[in-house]
Amino acid sequence: MSFIILNYHNGILPIYFLYFYKKKNVTTNINQIDFKKSLSGEEIAFLIGCSGANSKALREMAGQKAIELRGSKVWFRGLIEFSNVCIKDCFYCGIRKSNTKVPRYNLDDEAIIQAARYAFENRYGSVVLQSGERIDNKFIDRIDQLIKKIKEISDNKIGITLSLGEQTKETYQKWFNSGAHRYLLRIETTSKELYQKLHPVNKLHSFERRLEALKALKEIGYQTGSGVMVGLPSQTISDLANDLLFLKEFDIDMVGMGPYIEHEDTPLAKSSQSAYTQEERLHMTLNMIATLRLMMPDINIAASTALQAIDPMGREKAIKCGANIIMPNITPATERKNYQLYNNKPCIDESADDCLSCLQMRIAFTGRETGLGEWGDSLHFFKKQKNEQLKR
């Protein structure tokens, strides 16, 4: 599938693209788009790059759709970044294996359990276990035991999301059987050519392996989440349109999208410069959240921390244009500074209590409410389950 490549800068399309729009009768106004039908790649590209009144209307429409389908609640996922030890060497990532400037850490089990207990006692509803990638048996067994312990201390009342990278289907099944029920594995980009520019060429960094892992998660029965980075070097708006089409065609249950932010100690930051300013990346990300909310109204969409790294109100803006999940960081403050995938990560010097009160105020500012004591699962996931049962 091929799309128009739109080079969006400062909210203005170059004159020759405007001429192309007029000549080819391509959409130039949001009122020309019928959101009741499946959007074309060209329409999605237009929505991602639109600005001014079009962007304002898009975001307002998406924010209202989120409230209609998901209600006014924004659900918490207490984020525990328990280790920055990683076997991967992704060119964009601050905790990549080859970055020798990062002080490595690995929280002990009790610290992780204490963080989960904090989340449970403060009615977060769910926790996310996230770390650098490892695939050794010691790591796999440790995660399995942690899942069981978290379920035990919460009397099975707290939801568990994992974000632990590519694993075998057997490992995913083991963790699912022990109580994890959501898994986030970002595709990063659906352009294989661009994907290969972000990773070394070896068995640990394979586009096909990433796709197979996502398929395995879905087959096992996880609420499956994915997402992309916005504004990567060499990335076009047509690439981003393809990303949204992939998320819809894969029938994803939850999504986390954020702007690409450089980390100074990575090969990508040293060798390639994004064609987009950080403000443009933020703008496109918000448009993508809004567009995806209209394309897939009943999924869960996270307001990523990276948005706040660019704009102090970035996460609030994401909520107002369709996001309904937010992840307060409950990692012990002593280690937060060492889990920086990108520069200027916010909230690294705050305590869990600081994050809780801050985010509750931020959510209230948007006119929404915090969905405390609830898992806040993906309605899309359960709708799919019901449809599959009816087919049998």
Region of poorest pLDDT, from 209-213, 240-244, 258-262, 364-368? 364-368
Residues making up the binding site for [4Fe-4S] cluster: 86, 90, 93
Confidence of residue 40 (pLDDT cuts 50, 70, 90): very high
Mean pLDDT of all residues belonging to the chain: 91
What is the rounded CA–CA span in Å between residue 105 and residue 209? 27
Long-range Cβ contact pairs of 259-262 (< 8 A, separation 24 or more) = 259/229, 259/230, 259/231, 259/284, 259/285, 259/306, 259/307, 259/310, 260/92, 260/229, 260/230, 260/231, 260/232, 260/235, 260/342, 261/306, 261/309, 261/310, 261/342, 261/343, 261/344, 262/92, 262/342, 262/343
Alpha-carbon span 229 to 256, nearest angstrom: 9
> Residue 177's closest CA among 199, 148, 201?
148
List the domain boundaries for the chain.
15-391
- Could you tell me what percent of the chain has a pLDDT over 70? 93
Q: Is the pLDDT of residue 9 over 50?
A: no
Question: Is the pLDDT reported for residue 24 higher than 60?
Answer: no
Statement: residue 31 has pLDDT above 60: yes
Q: How far apart are CA 340 and CA 93, in angstroms?
A: 8
Q: At 173, is the pLDDT very low, low, confident or very high (cuts 50, 70, 90)?
A: very high
| Cα–Cα distance, 156 to 171 (Å, whole number) | 21
**Strand ranges in the chain using DSSP code E only, listed in sequence order:** 73-76, 78-83, 126-131, 159-163, 182-184, 223-226, 229-230, 254-259, 300-303, 325-326, 369-370
Instruction: Note the pLDDT of residue 26.
Output: 63
What is the structure's pLDDT at 239? 97
Q: Strand, helix or coil at 77?
A: coil
**Phi/psi of residue 75, nearest 5 degrees:** -95, 145
Which overall architecture, per CATH, does domain 15-391 show?
Alpha-Beta Barrel (3.20)
- CA 340 to chain centroid, in Å, comes to 16
Find the mean pLDDT for residues 61-85.
96
Q: Binding site for S-adenosyl-L-methionine: what residues are annotated? A: 188, 210
Residue 75 has pLDDT above 50, yes or no: yes
Read off the pLDDT of each residue in 243-269 and give the average, rounded to a whole number: 97
Long-range contacts of 55-61 (CB under 8 A, 24+ apart): 55/11, 55/283, 55/287, 57/30, 58/30, 58/287, 58/290, 58/291, 58/294, 58/321, 59/286, 59/287, 59/290, 59/320, 59/321, 59/322, 60/321, 61/35, 61/290, 61/294
Let me know if 353 is exposed, middle or buried by CB neighbors in 10 A (0-12, 13-18, 19+): exposed
Residue 3 above 80 pLDDT? no
Helices (runs of H) and strands (runs of E) counted in the chain: 16, 11
Confidence label for 7 from pLDDT (cuts 50, 70 and 90):
very low
Report pLDDT for 25. 53
User: How far is the CA of 148 from the CAs of 154, 175, 259, 277, 278, in angstroms?
Assistant: 10, 9, 34, 44, 41
Q: What residue numbers does the annotated binding site for (3R)-3-methyl-D-ornithine cover?
A: 163, 304
Question: Given a cut of 90, is residue 259 above it in pLDDT?
Answer: yes
Q: How far apart are the C-alpha atoms of 389 and 153, rounded to whole Å?
A: 33
- What pLDDT does 357 receive? 84
For 39, which DSSP code? Answer: P
Give the confidence band of 123 by pLDDT, cuts at 50, 70, 90: very high
Cβ–Cβ under 8 Å, residues 67 and 48: no
Q: What is the pLDDT of residue 386?
A: 86
User: Does residue 308 have a pLDDT over 80?
Assistant: yes
Annotated binding residues, written as ranges, equal: 86, 90, 93, 163, 188, 210, 304
Binned at pLDDT 50, 70 and 90, residue 65 comes out as very high
Report the DSSP pairing between strands 254-259 and 223-226.
Answer: parallel
